[in-house]
Chain A
Amino acid sequence: MTIKRTIGEKLFDSLNVLLMVLLIIITLYPLWHVLNASLSDSNRLMAHSGLLLLPDGFNLDSYKLVLSNPSILSGYRNTLVIVVLGTALNLLFTILGAYTLSRKSFMLRNPIMLAIVFTMFFNGGIIPTYLLINNTLHLGNNLLALIVPGLVSSYNLIIMRTAFQGISESLLESARIDGAGEMRILWRIVVPLSMPVIAVMILFYGVGHWNSWFSAILYIRDRDLYPLQLVLREILIQNSTDSMTTSAAMGDKEAIGESVKYATVMVATLPILFIYPFLQKYFVKGVMIGAIKE
């Protein structure tokens, strides 16, 4: 059965489509602008004002400067270490926690869970945490300070525990009768059966490490140890492009600095945008599992 659309409905549908097209433009244009600016000739970019629909004088010099900058390179390296090592440890801890907290035979399961959920709503604050990590544990100026304090996210732990609880108890029981120990059951049965949720966790933790910068401000002092985001902050927010424009004449410095900034944005964002289409469905899935955690 079809019901004819009234004029009002047709009008609404057209307006709706128009609004969505506008949304797409507003979302994408800033990125398009940055891409074009990064590919433009720096002097012409300086003189240009208004929207950039195409690069103004195609030129890859700023990319050469950015990709040969030692801070960017060491930043990439440090971030890579943090993402890989950090995510691996995140997974190990979260899996162990989620598994034990999903076992009905574990008597302390509920009180521990309660204590963990409490930390989601109440915490000691940034100063006591800073004093603990910097002064008591002496992790200052150490990449471990960016990994260890965030080993487990309570939110992710709850998501994974829910997934583990969904695995049939009789399956685990039969493994136990066959003589498998807890460790064996976890790594040979529970983990392989939970690969989708584990993929989501890798993504959440990994992107978290890639994007994080504030803990690095708190704890890292040596420039060699700066993660990428901290280097980006210097270049983009504090406007210090000097390290890349030293060879340029005074007048050109400002112009080159401007296009270097855009190239920096691209260099820092392209990897994410490239893998984004492959990650998207996992992210959507993660948000969904998070939503139905009761």
Chain B
Amino acid sequence: MTQKLSLVWLNYKRNKVIYWMALPVVLYFLIFKYLPMYGAVIAFKEYTVGKGIWGSEWVGLQHFRDFFQSYYFWRVLKNTLILSFYQLLFGFPAPILLALLLNELRHELFKRTVQTVSYIPHFISLVVICGMVVDFSSRDGLFNSIITFFGGESSALLSDPGNFRTIYTASSIWQELGFSTIIYLAALSGINPELYDASKVDGASRIRRVWHITLPGIIPMIVILLILRIGGLMEIGFEKVILLYNPNVYDTADVISTFVYRKGISESAEFSYTTAVGLFQSLVNFILLIGANRLSKAVSDNKLF
């Protein structure tokens, strides 16, 4: 240990400037990333602002027990998982499918036009997107005009808990579909064209070429992105939930992060309790990430770390 330290000291004396240049970034990560990790100990304490983190009393796992026994536990856990699962089930394959279809387009200019248009929604801010969704969902909004045109009945769509997940998932796909395909198209362009020529000579049909050449070419990319998605399963895009939801639809829309935000900051200030809830979320996430990585290493040899 001391030997290592003296080595670092020697290294420091030779490269002083580098060490000082690294200091701002190291300080940033210590203060804004690691200090909050230390601050998370208030989940095990009865934190009051006056006593500070250090001075507050330990209460052990009390806040975790309270959360697990509360009425909200199942509601927010269920909503978080279902909403994430919807995103995974519909949102994850959509850009892969689009990339494959774009790849089959013969007309180069048309292909580029489709791409360019499909990126646009990604650049519009979330607040504006959600503003449009809220407006279109109102009783006399665009969605209802379309529903009534097909003989349905108009209703306040965002006040019905049964609609929230559909609206959330569909609007997310609408916004991100085009942009998420970029990465797959990049992977597709990396496939050796000789493979296609060879298969043509062998008389393979287009379907077979997609199945045996195109798809295998992007599988590693798909697996990596899938692991990342599973690792973020508990971290649903809650900024969007906050913009879209209202008390009428808490039954299906309230997720762990929005619950933490309401009970911890916007409505009341139960700091210790909500920190415990947040910590529970991070922990489950971390376990899922490691699990997904292990699984993928075992079955496909692709891994994130």
Q: Report A's interface with B, CB cutoff 8 A.
A: 1, 3, 6, 9, 12-13, 16-17, 19-20, 23-24, 26-28, 30-31, 33-34, 49-51, 93, 96-97, 99-101, 103, 105-108, 112, 115-116, 119, 121-132, 135, 148-149, 151-152, 157, 181-183, 186, 207, 210-211, 213-214, 217-218, 229, 232-233, 235-237, 261, 264-265, 268-269, 272-273, 276, 279-280, 283-284, 287-288, 291
Residues A151 and B36 in contact, CB atoms below 8 Å apart = no
B11, B25, B102, B282: the one within 8 Å of A125 (CB): B282
Measured CB to CB, the nearest residue on chain A to B225 is A291
The answer to whether B298 has its CB under 8 Å from any CB of chain A is no
A241 to chain B, nearest CB (A): 12
In the assembled complex, 23 residue pairs joining A and B whose CB atoms fall closer than 8 Å, in A order, are: A20-B101, A20-B105, A24-B117, A27-B118, A93-B25, A100-B21, A100-B22, A105-B14, A116-B29, A124-B35, A124-B37, A126-B260, A127-B274, A127-B278, A132-B39, A213-B239, A214-B239, A217-B266, A232-B127, A236-B128, A268-B125, A268-B128, A272-B124
- List chain B residues, Cβ under 8 A from A30: 132, 136, 142
A80 to chain B, nearest CB (A): 15
Residues A19 and B101 in contact, CB atoms below 8 Å apart = yes
A149, A182, A288, A291: the one within 8 Å of B32 (CB): A149
- List chain B residues, Cβ under 8 A from A276: 120, 123
Complex CA distance for A149 and B31, rounded to whole angstroms = 9
Residues A122 and B282 in contact, CB atoms below 8 Å apart = yes
Measured CB to CB, the nearest residue on chain A to B22 is A100
Residues B145 and A97 in contact, CB atoms below 8 Å apart = no
Complex CA distance for A135 and B36, rounded to whole angstroms = 12
A16, A106, A128 pick with most chain B CB within 10 angstroms: A128
A97, A105, A229, A287: the one within 8 Å of B125 (CB): A229
Residues A284 and B182 in contact, CB atoms below 8 Å apart = yes
Interface size class of B (residues with CB under 8 A): 35 or more
A168 to chain B, nearest CB (A): 19
B6 to chain A, nearest CB (A): 12
Residues B183 and A291 in contact, CB atoms below 8 Å apart = yes
Residues B120 and A31 in contact, CB atoms below 8 Å apart = yes
The 3 A-B pairs of least Cβ separation, nearest first, read A236-B131, A124-B36, A128-B39
- List chain B residues, Cβ under 8 A from A26: 174
Instruction: Spot the interface stretch: B69-77, B84-92, B106-114.
Output: B106-114
B15 to chain A, nearest CB (A): 5
A33, A115, A182: the one within 8 Å of B18 (CB): A182
A126-B130 contact in complex given A30-B136, A96-B24, C-beta closer than 8 Å: no
Residues A24 and B114 in contact, CB atoms below 8 Å apart = yes
Which secondary structure dominates where chain B touches chain A?
helix
Residues B260 and A97 in contact, CB atoms below 8 Å apart = no
A98 to chain B, nearest CB (A): 9
The answer to whether B82 has its CB under 8 Å from any CB of chain A is no
Measured CB to CB, the nearest residue on chain A to B286 is A122
Residues A96 and B22 in contact, CB atoms below 8 Å apart = yes
- List chain A residues, Cβ under 8 A from B297: none
Please name 15 further chain A to chain B contacts, defined as beta carbons within 8 Å, in addition to the given A126-B260, A131-B271, sorted by A numbering. Answer: A24-B117, A97-B22, A101-B22, A107-B11, A115-B29, A123-B37, A127-B42, A152-B28, A183-B21, A217-B266, A233-B127, A236-B131, A261-B135, A276-B120, A284-B182
Complex CA distance for A210 and B126, rounded to whole angstroms = 11
- List chain A residues, Cβ under 8 A from B142: 30, 33, 51
Residues B24 and A93 in contact, CB atoms below 8 Å apart = yes
A27, A93, A135, A149: the one within 8 Å of B121 (CB): A27
The answer to whether B289 has its CB under 8 Å from any CB of chain A is yes
- List chain B residues, Cβ under 8 A from A268: 125, 128
Complex CA distance for A265 and B14, rounded to whole angstroms = 56
Residues B126 and A213 in contact, CB atoms below 8 Å apart = yes
A17, A93, A264: the one within 8 Å of B110 (CB): A17
Measured CB to CB, the nearest residue on chain A to B135 is A261
A236-B8 contact in complex given A96-B21, A183-B17, C-beta closer than 8 Å: no
Residues A20 and B126 in contact, CB atoms below 8 Å apart = no
Which of B171-215 touch A at CB < 8 Å?
A: 174, 178-179, 182-183, 186-187, 200-201, 205-206
A28, A121, A182, A207: the one within 8 Å of B123 (CB): A207
B203 to chain A, nearest CB (A): 8
A129 to chain B, nearest CB (A): 5
- List chain A residues, Cβ under 8 A from B249: none
Residues A272 and B105 in contact, CB atoms below 8 Å apart = no
